[in-house]
Amino acid sequence: MKKIFLYIVAPFLFAATAFGQISNSDITGTVADATKAVLPGVTVTATNNATGVSVSNVSNEAGAYTILSIIPGTYTVTAELPGF
């Protein structure tokens, strides 16, 4: 009876947990200038090098930004602030 459980039932129990995995990720950081002063209002853009898809977000008052739920890959990250 133990062999039946190990070979038939157990794989289904472990397979159910595999479906809960997340394949996307986030990019977080802080934008600062050369004097290490934080910069709010900076548009940070991550562009997937393979697909060309871009995702942007704006840094908050602490200079922090988060770009949510991007697919795995190689990205080019740029930051823009008008007048700077």
* Domain-located, residue 60: yes
**By the 8 A CB rule, do 77 and 30 touch?**
no
* Domain-located, residue 3: no
**By the 8 A CB rule, do 59 and 31 touch?**
yes
* Domain-located, residue 73: yes
The amino acid at 43: T
Residue 5's pLDDT band, with cuts at 50, 70 and 90, is very low
* Domain-located, residue 63: yes
Q: What is the side-by-side strand order in the sheet with 43-48? A: 54-58, 43-48, 75-80
**By the 8 A CB rule, do 46 and 27 touch?**
yes
pLDDT at residue 12 greater than cutoff 70: no
Provide the domain count of the chain: 1
* Domain-located, residue 34: yes
* Domain-located, residue 59: yes
Tens-place pLDDT, residues 18-31: 556 678 999 999 99
Q: What domain range is 54 assigned to?
A: 23-84
Tens-place pLDDT, residues 23-67: 899 999 999 999 999 999 999 999 999 999 999 999 999 999 999
* Domain-located, residue 13: no
